[in-house]
Amino acid sequence: MTATQTLTGRTALVTGSTSGIGLAIARLLGVAGANVVMNGLGSAENVESAITEVRSVAHGKITFNAADMRNPADIASMIECAETEFGQVDILVNNAGIQHVAPVEDFPAERWDDIIAINLSSVFHAVRCALPAMKRAGWGRIINIASAHALVASPYKSAYVSAKHGVAGLTKTVALEAAAGGVTVNAIAPGFVDTPLVSLQLDNVARAHSVSRDQAFEEVVLASQPTGRLIGVDEIAALALYLCDDAAASITGAVLPIDGAWTAK
Ligand code: NAD
């Protein structure tokens, strides 16, 4: 999708934008003219390569903040830095996320804590810090990257499903609180998207069941997603960009599936 520079003068902060969906969203919002604050973990080389990729197509200024989304103080400081540098955060995309798959009775407690912290609590902390300036400005966009697992469950994903259902609830609640102030709050609920997070899951399933990666793909993806293919990261980014448009001003409090009919079943 090509984007006209409709976001010139706006500033977007995209958590977890060194990879996958977050990187695609940072890239497209940058192409659309926004300044973008990127964030994420990873080796210095990977982080640098993600920043270079976004800078090579962006029209606004691109910066990076290494906040660990498990840490509320890091999150508050990241929003404060962005507001100091750019005046305010107009668009907040809460995207950072991790996954762990195990039966609930074997689920490592520290993995539960990390998933709830990164996939759910970080959304609360970022929203509570960024919303006041959006309300003062009378314009803002909060886009939470949830999951089909915000709407339905799968076995062995207790922490992820709980966190993503929580994101859906938080999205609706904040949308109601912000509705009169020009700030929209929505969640995008993707099915299986072609990113490292899914690739790792396919590797794990193939190893655990001693099957090929193709068989793992059939068991994990085809069984859930009637379209029978992984979703592209650019498909998710395109919806995020649309939600930033003034034409989307009345879409708020929505949990919007892009899931190849997974949750239609
Ligand atoms: P990914 O692994 O490619 O990227 C995850 C990003 O989050 C990376 O930039 C990583 O550095 C960052 N991150 C992880 N832990 C962090 C931490 N503690 N602090 C800061 N950043 C951290 O994953 P993805 O598939 O692009 O997933 C992005 C989001 O989309 C997640 O919230 C995920 O749950 C959601 N999602 C993904 C899929 C899918 O099929 N890939 C489907 C539905 C929802």
Is the Cβ atom of 224 under 6 angstroms away from ligand 1? no
DSSP for residue 229: S
Q: Could you tell me if 244 and 224 lie in one domain? A: no
> For the residues 171-189, what does the mean pLDDT come to?
98
Look at residue 24 and tell me if it is in a domain.
yes
Look at residue 6 and tell me if it is in a domain.
no
Look at residue 26 and tell me if it is in a domain.
yes
Look at residue 16 and tell me if it is in a domain.
yes
Q: Where are the alpha helices (DSSP H) in the chain?
A: 20-31, 44-55, 72-86, 109-115, 122-137, 158-178, 196-208, 213-217, 233-244
Q: Could you tell me if 114 and 224 lie in one domain? A: no
Question: How many angstroms separate the alpha carbon of residue 38 from the centre of ligand 1?
Answer: 13
Predicted confidence (pLDDT) per residue in 200-243, tens digit: 888 888 888 899 999 999 888 888 999 999 999 999 999 999 99
pLDDT over 60 at 169, yes or no: yes
Mutate which of 79, 143, 195 for ligand 1 pocket (most atoms within 8 A of beta carbon): 195
Is the Cβ atom of 21 under 6 angstroms away from ligand 1? yes
- Output the domain CATH number for residue 17: 3.40.50.720
Mapped onto helix, strand or coil, the DSSP state of residue 201 is: helix
pLDDT at 2: 55
Q: Could you tell me if 94 and 83 lie in one domain? A: yes
Sheet with strand 35-39: strands edge to edge: 62-65, 35-39, 11-14, 91-94, 140-145, 183-190, 255-258
Q: Whose CA is nearest to atom 6 of ligand 1?
A: 16
Q: Could you tell me if 118 and 212 lie in one domain? A: no
Contact 15, 36 (CB under 8 A): no
Q: Could you tell me if 76 and 123 lie in one domain? A: yes
pLDDT at 3: 63
Q: Which amino acid is it at 50?
A: A
Q: Whose CA is nearest to atom 24 of ligand 1?
A: 20
Of 130, 146, 145, give the one whose Cα is nearest residue 65. Answer: 130
Q: Could you tell me if 180 and 97 lie in one domain? A: yes
Q: Could you tell me if 59 and 138 lie in one domain? A: yes
Using N-to-C axis directions, what is the helix angle for 44-55 and 20-31, rounded to 10°? 30
Q: Could you tell me if 96 and 141 lie in one domain? A: yes
Backbone angles phi, psi at 188, to 5 degrees: -105, 135
Q: Could you tell me if 143 and 24 lie in one domain? A: yes
Q: How many domains does the chain have?
A: 2
Question: How many angstroms separate the alpha carbon of residue 136 from the centre of ligand 1?
Answer: 30
Active site residues: 160
Predicted confidence (pLDDT) per residue in 6-56, tens digit: 999 999 999 999 999 999 999 999 999 999 999 999 999 999 999 999 999
| Domain containing residue 220 | 193-230
**Does the predicted model carry a pTM greater than 0.95?**
yes
Question: How many angstroms separate the alpha carbon of residue 238 from the centre of ligand 1?
Answer: 17
Backbone angles phi, psi at 239, to 5 degrees: -70, -40
CA distance 168 to 185: 10
